[in-house]
Structure 1
Amino acid sequence: MLCGSPMNHREKHVKHTHPQFKLRLLPEVKLWLEEAAEKSHRSISGQINFLLTECMEKEKEENNSDGK
């Protein structure tokens, strides 16, 4: 592909093996998520995964400190 030439549809999209699902968000949550993703240089999906992984790890640590 030449520099500056538009990518075709197939070149743009990476095939992922992760399951997909629809998610309904309150408008203010979606706006916050979009802004946070942009600041972090992530996609919205990447930001959601990042935040959920952080919560999951925090919960694991809390459960381990409780002797569970």
Structure 2
Amino acid sequence: MRKKYLKIRDHRTGIIGLAHRQVAVTLLGRSLLPGEVVHHLDGDSTNNAPENLLGLCCLNWRYGRLTAGVV
């Protein structure tokens, strides 16, 4: 079964993106870097609550909760 992700439109650019990635960008206060991914801790791809999101940097295999300035 394929996961379904919520999508949102950026009102400034008109670009449609994945909601969980936009939540991560807002929490971090910056764009996601190449190789950074955002996972849903509970496995529910529609639960985009900040406490349910986990940032993972694939290049260094570092991970942690999304908080300002930390991935």
TM-score where L is the length of structure 2? 0.23
Select the structure with the greater relative contact order (CA < 8 A; seq sep ≥ 6): 2
* Structure with the larger strand share: 2
Q: Normalized per residue, which structure has more helix?
A: 1
* Rg larger in structure: 1
Instruction: Please report the TM-score for the alignment, with normalisation by the length of structure 1.
Output: 0.23
